[in-house]
Chains A and B, each alone.
Chain A
Protein backbone atom coordinates (compact mmCIF):
# COMPACT_ATOMS: atom_id res chain seq x y z
CA UNK A 1 0.00 0.00 0.00
CA UNK A 2 2.83 2.36 0.80
CA UNK A 3 4.38 1.67 -2.58
CA UNK A 4 1.11 2.48 -4.31
CA UNK A 5 0.87 5.75 -2.41
CA UNK A 6 4.48 6.56 -3.21
CA UNK A 7 3.95 5.82 -6.86
CA UNK A 8 0.84 8.00 -6.97
CA UNK A 9 2.75 10.83 -5.27
CA UNK A 10 5.61 10.57 -7.74
CA UNK A 11 3.26 10.56 -10.74
CA UNK A 12 0.95 13.20 -9.32
CA UNK A 13 -2.81 12.85 -8.77
CA UNK A 14 -5.83 15.14 -8.41
CA UNK A 15 -9.17 15.05 -6.67
CA UNK A 16 -11.94 16.11 -8.96
CA UNK A 17 -15.68 16.52 -8.76
CA UNK A 18 -17.91 15.51 -11.64
CA UNK A 19 -21.40 17.02 -11.62
CA UNK A 20 -24.10 15.61 -13.90
CA UNK A 21 -27.18 13.46 -14.16
CA UNK A 22 -25.67 10.01 -14.83
CA UNK A 23 -22.45 9.72 -12.92
CA UNK A 24 -22.65 5.91 -13.09
CA UNK A 25 -22.21 6.04 -16.85
CA UNK A 26 -19.27 8.33 -16.38
CA UNK A 27 -17.68 5.84 -13.95
CA UNK A 28 -18.32 2.93 -16.31
CA UNK A 29 -16.79 4.73 -19.28
CA UNK A 30 -13.71 5.59 -17.23
CA UNK A 31 -13.33 1.94 -16.27
CA UNK A 32 -14.00 0.78 -19.85
CA UNK A 33 -11.30 3.15 -21.20
CA UNK A 34 -8.72 1.91 -18.71
CA UNK A 35 -8.73 5.09 -16.63
CA UNK A 36 -8.12 4.22 -12.99
CA UNK A 37 -10.11 6.22 -10.51
CA UNK A 38 -10.36 5.57 -6.81
CA UNK A 39 -12.06 6.73 -3.59
CA UNK A 40 -15.23 7.48 -5.52
CA UNK A 41 -17.68 9.28 -3.26
CA UNK A 42 -21.27 10.03 -4.14
CA UNK A 43 -22.26 13.67 -3.86
CA UNK A 44 -25.66 15.32 -4.15
CA UNK A 45 -25.16 16.30 -7.75
CA UNK A 46 -22.42 14.00 -8.83
CA UNK A 47 -19.30 12.22 -7.59
CA UNK A 48 -15.85 13.10 -6.35
CA UNK A 49 -12.92 10.84 -7.01
CA UNK A 50 -9.15 10.73 -7.40
CA UNK A 51 -7.36 10.22 -10.67
CA UNK A 52 -3.75 10.27 -11.84
CA UNK A 53 -2.72 13.63 -13.26
CA UNK A 54 -1.74 12.11 -16.57
CA UNK A 55 -5.20 10.54 -16.98
CA UNK A 56 -7.20 13.68 -16.24
CA UNK A 57 -7.01 14.88 -19.81
CA UNK A 58 -8.69 11.70 -20.99
CA UNK A 59 -11.74 12.63 -18.91
CA UNK A 60 -12.64 15.44 -21.27
CA UNK A 61 -14.02 13.20 -24.01
CA UNK A 62 -15.84 10.99 -21.49
CA UNK A 63 -17.30 14.02 -19.75
CA UNK A 64 -18.57 15.33 -23.06
CA UNK A 65 -20.27 12.04 -23.89
CA UNK A 66 -21.89 11.70 -20.47
CA UNK A 67 -22.78 15.41 -20.03
CA UNK A 68 -20.74 15.56 -16.87
CA UNK A 69 -18.58 18.51 -15.84
CA UNK A 70 -15.34 17.55 -14.12
CA UNK A 71 -13.50 20.11 -12.01
CA UNK A 72 -10.17 19.75 -10.27
CA UNK A 73 -10.39 20.48 -6.56
CA UNK A 74 -6.99 19.55 -5.13
CA UNK A 75 -3.68 18.70 -6.74
CA UNK A 76 -1.20 16.38 -5.08
CA UNK A 77 2.19 14.96 -5.99
CA UNK A 78 5.70 15.68 -7.17
CA UNK A 79 4.90 17.18 -10.60
CA UNK A 80 2.91 19.97 -8.95
CA UNK A 81 5.62 20.59 -6.33
CA UNK A 82 8.26 20.84 -9.04
CA UNK A 83 6.11 23.22 -11.05
CA UNK A 84 6.25 25.73 -8.19
CA UNK A 85 10.03 25.72 -8.38
CA UNK A 86 10.19 25.88 -12.17
CA UNK A 87 11.45 29.45 -12.06
CA UNK A 88 13.97 28.60 -9.36
CA UNK A 89 16.45 26.65 -11.47
CA UNK A 90 19.30 27.99 -9.38
CA UNK A 91 17.94 26.13 -6.39
CA UNK A 92 18.04 22.82 -8.20
CA UNK A 93 21.40 23.58 -9.77
CA UNK A 94 22.80 24.39 -6.32
CA UNK A 95 21.32 21.23 -4.81
CA UNK A 96 22.73 19.14 -7.66
CA UNK A 97 26.13 20.80 -7.32
CA UNK A 98 26.13 20.22 -3.56
CA UNK A 99 25.31 16.53 -4.10
CA UNK A 100 28.03 16.24 -6.72
CA UNK A 101 30.59 17.92 -4.44
CA UNK A 102 29.61 15.74 -1.49
CA UNK A 103 29.93 12.64 -3.62
CA UNK A 104 33.24 13.79 -5.09
CA UNK A 105 34.72 14.57 -1.68
CA UNK A 106 33.61 11.24 -0.29
CA UNK A 107 35.93 9.48 -2.75
CA UNK A 108 39.02 10.68 -0.89
CA UNK A 109 40.59 10.11 2.51
CA UNK A 110 40.57 13.37 4.47
CA UNK A 111 41.41 12.29 7.98
CA UNK A 112 44.24 10.01 9.11
CA UNK A 113 44.21 8.94 12.75
CA UNK A 114 47.01 6.99 14.37
CA UNK A 115 46.10 5.06 17.48
CA UNK A 116 48.09 2.88 19.84
CA UNK A 117 51.43 4.75 19.69
CA UNK A 118 52.81 5.40 23.18
CA UNK A 119 56.61 5.65 22.98
CA UNK A 120 56.92 5.86 19.21
CA UNK A 121 56.64 9.39 17.84
CA UNK A 122 53.38 9.87 15.94
CA UNK A 123 55.07 12.40 13.66
CA UNK A 124 57.57 9.70 12.65
CA UNK A 125 54.75 7.33 11.75
CA UNK A 126 53.07 10.10 9.77
CA UNK A 127 56.30 10.78 7.90
CA UNK A 128 56.62 7.10 6.99
CA UNK A 129 53.00 6.97 5.88
CA UNK A 130 53.61 10.03 3.72
CA UNK A 131 56.49 8.27 1.98
CA UNK A 132 54.30 5.25 1.38
CA UNK A 133 51.61 7.43 -0.14
CA UNK A 134 49.10 7.46 2.67
CA UNK A 135 48.38 11.18 2.96
CA UNK A 136 45.38 13.41 3.34
CA UNK A 137 43.63 13.67 -0.01
CA UNK A 138 44.54 10.26 -1.40
CA UNK A 139 41.82 8.48 -3.35
CA UNK A 140 40.12 5.76 -1.37
CA UNK A 141 40.23 3.40 -4.32
CA UNK A 142 44.03 3.77 -4.48
CA UNK A 143 44.58 2.80 -0.85
CA UNK A 144 45.97 -0.73 -0.63
CA UNK A 145 45.63 -1.38 3.09
CA UNK A 146 47.70 -4.57 3.07
CA UNK A 147 50.57 -2.95 1.20
CA UNK A 148 50.58 0.08 3.51
CA UNK A 149 50.52 -2.15 6.59
CA UNK A 150 53.36 -4.25 5.24
CA UNK A 151 55.56 -1.29 4.28
CA UNK A 152 54.89 0.48 7.57
CA UNK A 153 56.08 -2.54 9.55
CA UNK A 154 59.16 -2.90 7.32
CA UNK A 155 60.06 0.78 7.71
CA UNK A 156 59.50 0.89 11.46
CA UNK A 157 60.90 -2.10 13.35
CA UNK A 158 59.72 -0.43 16.58
CA UNK A 159 56.23 -1.55 15.64
CA UNK A 160 55.18 -5.14 16.07
CA UNK A 161 51.73 -4.91 14.52
CA UNK A 162 49.74 -2.48 12.41
CA UNK A 163 46.28 -2.38 10.86
CA UNK A 164 44.85 0.05 8.35
CA UNK A 165 41.08 0.55 8.34
CA UNK A 166 39.22 2.90 6.07
CA UNK A 167 35.97 4.15 7.60
CA UNK A 168 34.24 6.55 5.25
CA UNK A 169 36.71 9.35 4.57
CA UNK A 170 38.80 8.54 7.66
CA UNK A 171 41.74 6.19 7.77
CA UNK A 172 42.46 4.72 11.19
CA UNK A 173 45.95 3.29 11.62
CA UNK A 174 46.16 1.03 14.67
CA UNK A 175 49.67 0.15 15.80
CA UNK A 176 51.27 -1.89 18.55
CA UNK A 177 54.80 -1.21 19.68
CA UNK A 178 57.38 -3.95 19.86
CA UNK A 179 58.74 -5.03 23.23
CA UNK A 180 62.51 -4.32 23.62
CA UNK A 181 64.34 -7.43 22.50
CA UNK A 182 66.88 -9.09 24.74
CA UNK A 183 70.11 -9.08 22.78
CA UNK A 184 71.43 -11.86 24.94
CA UNK A 185 68.96 -14.16 23.22
CA UNK A 186 70.77 -13.58 19.92
CA UNK A 187 72.82 -16.69 19.23
CA UNK A 188 75.03 -15.32 16.44
CA UNK A 189 78.66 -16.11 17.30
CA UNK A 190 80.51 -12.93 18.13
CA UNK A 191 83.42 -11.46 20.09
CA UNK A 192 83.38 -8.35 22.27
CA UNK A 193 85.95 -5.83 21.11
CA UNK A 194 87.13 -2.54 22.62
CA UNK A 195 85.21 0.39 21.17
CA UNK A 196 87.60 2.95 22.67
CA UNK A 197 91.05 3.25 24.21
CA UNK A 198 91.06 2.95 27.97
CA UNK A 199 92.19 1.26 31.15
CA UNK A 200 90.12 -1.73 32.28
CA UNK A 201 88.46 -1.23 35.67
CA UNK A 202 86.23 -4.31 35.80
CA UNK A 203 85.35 -7.30 33.63
CA UNK A 204 82.02 -9.15 33.89
CA UNK A 205 81.78 -12.14 31.57
CA UNK A 206 78.32 -13.63 30.97
CA UNK A 207 79.32 -15.81 28.05
CA UNK A 208 82.71 -16.42 26.44
CA UNK A 209 86.29 -16.21 27.60
CA UNK A 210 87.81 -12.97 28.95
CA UNK A 211 90.95 -11.79 27.22
CA UNK A 212 91.71 -8.87 29.55
CA UNK A 213 91.89 -8.30 33.27
CA UNK A 214 91.58 -5.35 35.64
CA UNK A 215 94.26 -2.79 35.11
CA UNK A 216 95.01 -3.68 31.49
CA UNK A 217 95.37 -0.88 29.01
CA UNK A 218 93.44 -1.52 25.81
CA UNK A 219 93.22 0.31 22.52
CA UNK A 220 90.30 0.48 20.17
CA UNK A 221 89.85 -2.85 18.41
CA UNK A 222 91.45 -5.03 21.09
CA UNK A 223 89.71 -8.33 21.88
CA UNK A 224 88.06 -8.13 25.29
CA UNK A 225 85.84 -11.23 25.53
CA UNK A 226 86.23 -14.04 23.04
CA UNK A 227 83.36 -16.08 21.68
CA UNK A 228 85.71 -18.88 20.57
CA UNK A 229 86.03 -21.51 23.28
CA UNK A 230 88.60 -24.30 23.05
CA UNK A 231 87.58 -27.42 24.91
CA UNK A 232 89.94 -29.95 26.47
CA UNK A 233 88.86 -32.61 24.03
CA UNK A 234 90.03 -30.46 21.15
CA UNK A 235 86.57 -29.25 20.10
CA UNK A 236 86.01 -25.55 19.45
CA UNK A 237 82.74 -23.82 20.24
CA UNK A 238 81.59 -20.52 18.80
CA UNK A 239 79.50 -18.57 21.28
CA UNK A 240 77.64 -15.31 21.31
CA UNK A 241 80.03 -13.56 23.74
CA UNK A 242 78.32 -11.26 26.22
CA UNK A 243 79.47 -9.25 29.18
CA UNK A 244 80.56 -5.84 30.40
CA UNK A 245 84.04 -4.35 30.37
CA UNK A 246 84.10 -1.10 32.29
CA UNK A 247 87.12 1.05 31.48
CA UNK A 248 88.33 4.53 32.18
CA UNK A 249 88.44 6.53 29.00
CA UNK A 250 89.75 9.99 28.25
CA UNK A 251 88.11 12.44 25.93
CA UNK A 252 87.70 16.15 25.54
CA UNK A 253 85.28 18.75 24.28
CA UNK A 254 86.36 22.12 22.99
CA UNK A 255 84.55 25.29 21.89
CA UNK A 256 85.78 28.62 20.66
CA UNK A 257 84.10 31.94 21.45
CA UNK A 258 85.04 35.17 19.73
CA UNK A 259 84.96 38.45 21.66
CA UNK A 260 83.63 40.41 18.68
CA UNK A 261 80.37 38.94 17.60
CA UNK A 262 77.58 39.91 15.31
CA UNK A 263 74.23 39.06 16.79
CA UNK A 264 70.89 39.31 15.09
CA UNK A 265 68.59 41.18 17.44
CA UNK A 266 64.86 41.63 16.93
CA UNK A 267 64.04 45.19 16.08
CA UNK A 268 60.38 45.01 17.14
CA UNK A 269 58.91 44.71 13.66
CA UNK A 270 57.07 41.58 12.64
CA UNK A 271 54.81 40.20 9.93
CA UNK A 272 52.51 37.22 9.82
CA UNK A 273 51.93 35.07 6.77
CA UNK A 274 49.23 32.40 6.63
CA UNK A 275 48.54 29.50 4.29
CA UNK A 276 45.14 27.83 4.22
CA UNK A 277 45.16 24.13 3.37
CA UNK A 278 41.69 23.21 2.22
CA UNK A 279 41.13 19.58 1.24
CA UNK A 280 44.76 19.19 0.21
CA UNK A 281 44.89 22.45 -1.74
CA UNK A 282 47.27 25.07 -0.32
CA UNK A 283 45.95 28.60 -0.66
CA UNK A 284 48.33 31.38 0.39
CA UNK A 285 46.50 34.12 2.27
CA UNK A 286 49.12 36.76 1.55
CA UNK A 287 50.74 38.62 -1.28
CA UNK A 288 54.43 39.14 -1.80
CA UNK A 289 57.35 37.60 0.02
CA UNK A 290 59.23 38.60 3.14
CA UNK A 291 62.63 40.19 2.59
CA UNK A 292 65.39 40.98 4.99
CA UNK A 293 66.73 39.25 8.06
CA UNK A 294 64.21 37.59 10.31
CA UNK A 295 63.51 34.88 12.80
CA UNK A 296 60.61 32.65 11.92
CA UNK A 297 58.17 31.03 14.30
CA UNK A 298 55.76 28.50 12.82
CA UNK A 299 52.41 27.43 14.18
CA UNK A 300 49.56 25.30 12.89
CA UNK A 301 45.85 25.27 13.56
CA UNK A 302 43.82 22.27 12.42
CA UNK A 303 40.04 22.27 12.43
CA UNK A 304 38.52 19.63 14.66
CA UNK A 305 34.93 18.55 15.10
CA UNK A 306 34.20 16.21 17.99
CA UNK A 307 37.87 15.28 18.19
CA UNK A 308 38.07 14.34 14.51
CA UNK A 309 40.59 16.27 12.43
CA UNK A 310 39.06 17.97 9.43
CA UNK A 311 41.03 18.52 6.20
CA UNK A 312 41.16 22.26 6.87
CA UNK A 313 44.18 23.80 8.53
CA UNK A 314 45.96 27.12 8.69
CA UNK A 315 49.75 27.25 8.87
CA UNK A 316 50.99 30.55 10.26
CA UNK A 317 54.49 31.89 10.13
CA UNK A 318 55.43 34.93 12.23
CA UNK A 319 58.49 36.77 10.92
CA UNK A 320 60.37 38.77 13.54
CA UNK A 321 62.73 41.12 11.73
CA UNK A 322 66.25 41.36 13.07
CA UNK A 323 69.11 43.75 12.69
CA UNK A 324 72.75 42.80 13.02
CA UNK A 325 74.28 44.26 16.12
CA UNK A 326 77.95 44.24 16.85
CA UNK A 327 78.66 43.21 20.36
CA UNK A 328 81.90 42.86 22.20
CA UNK A 329 81.93 40.25 24.89
CA UNK A 330 83.97 40.60 27.99
CA UNK A 331 86.16 37.72 29.05
CA UNK A 332 83.58 36.69 31.66
CA UNK A 333 80.75 36.81 29.17
CA UNK A 334 82.73 34.83 26.61
CA UNK A 335 83.63 32.22 29.20
CA UNK A 336 80.01 31.97 30.33
CA UNK A 337 78.89 31.45 26.73
CA UNK A 338 81.54 28.79 26.26
CA UNK A 339 80.45 26.97 29.43
CA UNK A 340 76.84 26.97 28.20
CA UNK A 341 77.86 25.46 24.89
CA UNK A 342 80.03 22.83 26.55
CA UNK A 343 77.21 21.96 28.91
CA UNK A 344 74.89 21.26 25.99
CA UNK A 345 77.50 19.11 24.27
CA UNK A 346 78.21 17.27 27.50
CA UNK A 347 74.59 16.31 27.95
CA UNK A 348 74.33 14.85 24.49
CA UNK A 349 77.69 13.02 24.46
CA UNK A 350 78.10 11.87 28.05
CA UNK A 351 74.46 11.61 29.02
CA UNK A 352 74.57 7.98 30.25
CA UNK A 353 78.15 7.85 31.47
CA UNK A 354 79.85 8.22 34.79
CA UNK A 355 82.22 11.20 34.66
CA UNK A 356 85.05 10.56 37.09
CA UNK A 357 86.77 13.87 36.61
CA UNK A 358 86.73 16.89 34.36
CA UNK A 359 89.50 19.38 33.83
CA UNK A 360 88.78 22.77 32.32
CA UNK A 361 91.39 24.62 30.31
CA UNK A 362 90.87 28.16 29.03
CA UNK A 363 93.18 29.68 26.46
CA UNK A 364 92.80 33.38 25.76
CA UNK A 365 94.02 35.20 22.70
CA UNK A 366 93.38 38.66 21.29
CA UNK A 367 90.29 37.61 19.32
CA UNK A 368 88.61 35.25 21.79
CA UNK A 369 89.03 32.24 23.93
CA UNK A 370 89.16 28.46 23.51
CA UNK A 371 87.46 26.55 26.28
CA UNK A 372 88.48 22.90 26.53
CA UNK A 373 87.22 20.34 29.01
CA UNK A 374 89.05 17.05 29.44
CA UNK A 375 86.96 14.18 30.74
CA UNK A 376 87.85 10.98 32.48
CA UNK A 377 84.82 8.68 32.18
CA UNK A 378 83.92 5.18 33.21
CA UNK A 379 81.93 3.35 30.59
CA UNK A 380 81.32 -0.02 29.06
CA UNK A 381 83.64 -0.14 26.06
CA UNK A 382 82.68 -3.62 24.83
CA UNK A 383 81.07 -3.75 21.40
CA UNK A 384 79.96 -6.85 19.50
CA UNK A 385 81.78 -8.05 16.42
CA UNK A 386 80.51 -11.08 14.55
CA UNK A 387 82.80 -14.05 14.07
CA UNK A 388 83.07 -15.00 10.42
CA UNK A 389 82.98 -18.76 10.17
CA UNK A 390 84.16 -20.34 6.90
CA UNK A 391 83.17 -23.98 6.60
CA UNK A 392 85.82 -26.01 4.86
CA UNK A 393 85.61 -29.61 3.75
Chain B
Protein backbone atom coordinates (compact mmCIF):
# COMPACT_ATOMS: atom_id res chain seq x y z
CA UNK B 1 0.00 0.00 0.00
CA UNK B 2 1.50 3.41 -0.92
CA UNK B 3 2.62 5.51 2.01
CA UNK B 4 0.16 8.33 1.27
CA UNK B 5 -2.74 5.90 1.02
CA UNK B 6 -1.67 4.27 4.24
CA UNK B 7 -1.53 7.58 6.01
CA UNK B 8 -4.95 8.47 4.56
CA UNK B 9 -6.45 5.24 5.86
CA UNK B 10 -4.89 5.71 9.27
CA UNK B 11 -6.18 9.27 9.44
CA UNK B 12 -9.66 8.16 8.44
CA UNK B 13 -9.66 5.46 11.11
CA UNK B 14 -8.56 7.97 13.74
CA UNK B 15 -11.35 10.32 12.74
CA UNK B 16 -13.88 7.52 12.89
CA UNK B 17 -12.59 6.53 16.32
CA UNK B 18 -12.85 10.03 17.69
CA UNK B 19 -16.33 10.44 16.16
CA UNK B 20 -17.43 7.29 17.98
CA UNK B 21 -15.71 8.64 21.12
CA UNK B 22 -13.47 5.59 21.35
CA UNK B 23 -10.06 5.79 23.08
CA UNK B 24 -7.35 7.00 20.74
CA UNK B 25 -5.40 4.26 19.06
CA UNK B 26 -8.14 1.64 19.37
CA UNK B 27 -8.81 1.36 15.63
CA UNK B 28 -5.35 2.23 14.40
CA UNK B 29 -3.55 -0.48 16.36
CA UNK B 30 -1.16 1.97 17.93
CA UNK B 31 1.06 1.20 20.89
CA UNK B 32 -0.37 1.69 24.34
CA UNK B 33 1.72 2.73 27.30
CA UNK B 34 0.32 2.29 30.80
CA UNK B 35 2.36 4.05 33.47
CA UNK B 36 2.09 3.15 37.16
CA UNK B 37 3.48 6.24 38.84
CA UNK B 38 7.12 6.48 37.70
CA UNK B 39 7.99 2.97 38.79
CA UNK B 40 6.53 0.76 36.11
CA UNK B 41 5.40 1.03 32.54
CA UNK B 42 3.57 -1.57 30.47
CA UNK B 43 3.95 -1.19 26.73
CA UNK B 44 1.52 -3.00 24.46
CA UNK B 45 2.35 -3.21 20.82
CA UNK B 46 6.04 -3.54 21.44
CA UNK B 47 7.88 -4.97 18.45
CA UNK B 48 11.37 -5.19 19.92
CA UNK B 49 14.14 -3.70 22.03
CA UNK B 50 16.43 -1.26 20.24
CA UNK B 51 18.61 -0.18 23.10
CA UNK B 52 18.90 -1.36 26.65
CA UNK B 53 20.89 0.07 29.55
CA UNK B 54 20.19 0.98 33.15
CA UNK B 55 19.56 4.64 32.17
CA UNK B 56 17.93 4.23 28.76
CA UNK B 57 15.58 1.71 27.17
CA UNK B 58 14.34 2.21 23.62
CA UNK B 59 11.47 0.12 22.35
CA UNK B 60 10.19 -0.13 18.82
CA UNK B 61 6.42 -0.12 18.40
CA UNK B 62 6.35 -0.31 14.64
CA UNK B 63 5.10 3.21 13.84
CA UNK B 64 7.20 4.95 16.48
CA UNK B 65 9.99 4.46 18.99
CA UNK B 66 9.44 4.98 22.70
CA UNK B 67 12.37 6.08 24.80
CA UNK B 68 12.37 5.53 28.58
CA UNK B 69 15.00 7.37 30.57
CA UNK B 70 15.70 6.99 34.26
CA UNK B 71 17.71 5.03 36.82
CA UNK B 72 18.01 1.27 37.52
CA UNK B 73 15.79 0.48 34.57
CA UNK B 74 15.12 -3.19 33.83
CA UNK B 75 12.82 -5.11 31.54
CA UNK B 76 10.65 -6.94 34.01
CA UNK B 77 9.12 -9.15 31.35
CA UNK B 78 9.14 -9.37 27.61
CA UNK B 79 6.74 -11.34 25.47
CA UNK B 80 5.64 -10.98 21.83
CA UNK B 81 3.80 -7.68 21.72
CA UNK B 82 4.20 -6.66 25.34
CA UNK B 83 6.99 -5.39 27.53
CA UNK B 84 7.05 -4.23 31.14
CA UNK B 85 9.68 -1.70 32.18
CA UNK B 86 10.52 -1.34 35.84
CA UNK B 87 12.71 1.13 37.70
CA UNK B 88 12.82 4.90 38.32
CA UNK B 89 11.38 6.38 35.13
CA UNK B 90 12.34 10.04 34.73
CA UNK B 91 10.99 10.66 31.24
CA UNK B 92 9.10 9.02 28.38
CA UNK B 93 9.70 10.31 24.88
CA UNK B 94 8.28 9.35 21.49
CA UNK B 95 10.42 9.34 18.37
CA UNK B 96 8.76 9.13 14.98
**Chain A residues packing against B (C-beta within 8 Å):** 23-24, 27-28, 30-32, 34, 36-42, 47
Contact = CB atoms under 8 A, between A and B. Distances in A.
Given A31-B48, A32-B48, A47-B52, A40 B80 contact: no
Interface in B48-96: 48-54, 73-80
B67 to A, nearest CB: 14
Contacts of A47: 52
Contacts of B50: 24
28 contacts: A23-B52, A24-B48, A24-B50, A24-B52, A27-B48, A27-B52, A27-B75, A28-B48, A31-B48, A31-B49, A31-B78, A31-B79, A31-B80, A34-B80, A36-B77, A36-B79, A38-B77, A38-B78, A39-B76, A40-B52, A40-B74, A40-B75, A40-B76, A40-B78, A41-B74, A42-B52, A42-B53, A42-B73
B51 A24 contact: yes
Contacts of B78: 27, 30-31, 36-38, 40
Interface of B: 48-54, 73-80
Contact of A42 (B54, B77, B79): B54
A198 to B, nearest CB: 105
Contacts of B52: 23-24, 27, 40, 42, 47
Contacts of B79: 31, 36
Contacts of A41: 74
B81 to A, nearest CB: 8
A381 to B, nearest CB: 100
A38 B49 contact: no
A28 B49 contact: yes
A37 B76 CA distance: 9
Q: Which 10 pairs show the lowest CB-CB distances between chains A and B? A: A28-B48, A40-B75, A38-B77, A24-B49, A27-B49, A31-B78, A41-B74, A24-B52, A42-B54, A36-B79
A184 B79 CA distance: 91
Contacts of A30: 78
A24 B49 CA distance: 6
| Residue of B50, B75, B80 ringed by the most chain A CB atoms within 10 A | B75
B57 to A, nearest CB: 9
Contacts of A40: 52, 74-78
A37 B49 CA distance: 13
A23 B52 CA distance: 8
A23 B78 CA distance: 14
Nearest to B86: A39
B45 to A, nearest CB: 13
A41 B53 CA distance: 9
B24 to A, nearest CB: 26
Given A27-B78, A32-B48, 8 more contacts: A23-B52, A24-B52, A31-B79, A40-B52, A40-B74, A40-B77, A42-B52, A42-B53
Contacts of A36: 77-79
Nearest to A34: B80
Contacts of A24: 48-52
Contacts of B77: 36-40
A23 B48 CA distance: 12
A42 B76 CA distance: 11
Which of A23, A28, A36, A39 has the most chain B CB atoms inside 10 A of its CB? A28
A41 B78 CA distance: 12
B76 to A, nearest CB: 6
Contacts of B73: 42
A39 B74 contact: yes
A30 B54 CA distance: 20
B95 to A, nearest CB: 16
A167 B54 CA distance: 61
A42 B72 CA distance: 9
A254 to B, nearest CB: 104
Contacts of B49: 24, 27-28, 31
A47 B52 CA distance: 10
